[in-house]
């Protein structure tokens, strides 16, 4: 089957089965192009909650499909690559949070959405990189806060808000490679460019980068918005490289430079047109969160979405 035939078959099956394809910005360009909705974690969470489709085919890593299942338990959530994992999600367990809560009964646990359903079940508030600052600023004052699992995003929140938090020692294996040294050298190399940085990066608490007048920290959606609205025409992109596909599509006259070669999430690349078609055709790779966990995990997600 040719690529064009595969795409046509996927489109046909979507209509027949009342299915929607949700894809993250870090997936392959051809997956982004066929998606009904392309977004970051917050946007994908919202879409999973409001779609009328009976089947959600989630082109992202496993925790994202789990989140869709938590939000929309009545829908069938399928993953073309159920083994697509995430270093952040795998760095903390529900038992870890249970132990912390036992030692800090009045403490508040804030979990980045890049966590398993089990971890969310022990969480007080979820957040994404889009709304993390707002979530933390909304918390009751004077109580101990644990932020899991991303130490870089947590450090960025602490620096930006001045709110003290205990940070879990997890990181995104892709964004961890984006260091202050790399960011600084690229700013020197391209003096006409803004650098747009995801707060999961390893330079999120570095004063020299935070205070640089051409450095901006955003979620992926924020990076896209800045590039579209800025009068500048050159940008250094300090996040997963596949984001540039959408940036170029939206801004064909502008130049986008990856911060470093190989800033790639290999887990997201496990999703291909072939396994997307197989998944939709056979309705396999279903991700279903047990109801006992789902009932607990939905509460911090709902709090996040309200904020």
pLDDT for 45 equals 82
Query: What pLDDT is attached to residue 305?
Result: 81
Asked if residue 237 is part of any domain, the answer here is yes
Cα separation, 29 vs 79, in Å, equals 18
CATH number (domain holding residue 133): 3.40.50.10800
249 pLDDT higher than 80 = yes
138 and 62 together in one domain: no
Dihedral sign of CA atoms 129, 135, 141, 145 in order: negative
Statement to judge: residues 32 and 104 lie in one domain: no
- Per the structure, the complete domain to which residue 220 belongs is given by 175-258
Torsion angle in degrees (nearest 10) through CA of 54, 58, 63, 67: -30
Q: pLDDT tens digits, residue range 198-241?
A: 999 999 999 999 999 999 999 999 999 999 999 999 999 999 99
Q: Per the domain annotation, does 263 fall within a domain?
A: no
What φ, ψ does residue 86 adopt, rounded to 5°?
A: -150, 125
Taking the C-alpha atoms of residue 255 and residue 253, their distance in angstroms, rounded to an integer, is 7
pLDDT of residue 1: 85
The mean predicted confidence, pLDDT, of the chain is: 96
31 and 61 belong to one structural domain: yes
Question: Domain tally for the chain?
Answer: 3
Residues 110 and 125 in one domain: yes
Q: What is the b/e burial string over 80-119, where b = at least 16 CB atoms within 10 angstroms of the residue's CB?
A: bbbebebbbbbbbebebbeebbeeeeeebbbbbbbbbbbb
Mean pLDDT of the region 61-86: 95
Question: Is there a single domain that holds both residue 154 and residue 301?
Answer: yes
Average pLDDT over residues 24-48: 93
Is 246 within a domain? yes
């Amino acid at each position: 089957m040719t690529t064009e035939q595969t795409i046509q078959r996927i489109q046909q099956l979507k209509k027949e089965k009342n299915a929607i394809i949700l894809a993250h910005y870090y997936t392959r360009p051809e997956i982004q192009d066929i998606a009904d909705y392309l977004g970051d974690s917050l946007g994908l969470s919202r879409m999973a909650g409001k779609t009328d489709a009976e089947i959600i085919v989630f082109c992202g890593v496993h925790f994202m499909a789990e989140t869709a299942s938590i939000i929309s338990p009545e829908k069938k959530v399928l993953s073309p690559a159920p083994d697509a994992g995430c270093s952040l999600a795998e760095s903390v367990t529900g038992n870890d949070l249970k132990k912390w809560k036992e030692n800090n009964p009045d403490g508040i646990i804030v979990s980045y959405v890049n966590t398993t359903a089990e971890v969310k079940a022990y969480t007080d508030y979820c957040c994404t990189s889009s709304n993390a600052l707002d979530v933390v600023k909304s918390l009751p004052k004077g109580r101990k806060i644990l932020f899991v699992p991303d130490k870089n995003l947590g450090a960025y929140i602490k620096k930006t808000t001045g709110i003290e938090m205990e940070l879990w020692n997890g990181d995104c294996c892709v964004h961890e490679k984006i260091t202050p040294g790399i960011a600084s050298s690229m700013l020197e190399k391209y003096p006409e460019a803004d650098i747009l940085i995801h707060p999961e990066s390893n330079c999120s608490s570095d004063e020299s980068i935070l205070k640089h007048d051409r450095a901006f920290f955003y979620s992926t959606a924020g990076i896209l918005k800045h590039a579209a609205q800025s009068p500048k025409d050159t940008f250094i992109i300090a996040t997963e490289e596949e984001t540039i596909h959408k940036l170029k599509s939206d801004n064909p006259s502008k130049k986008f430079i990856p911060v470093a070669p190989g800033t790639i999430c290999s887990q997201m690349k496990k999703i291909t047109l072939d396994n997307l078609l197989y998944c939709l055709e056979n309705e396999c790779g279903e991700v279903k969160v047990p109801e006992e966990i789902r009932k607990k995990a939905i509460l911090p997600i709902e709090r996040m979405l309200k904020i």
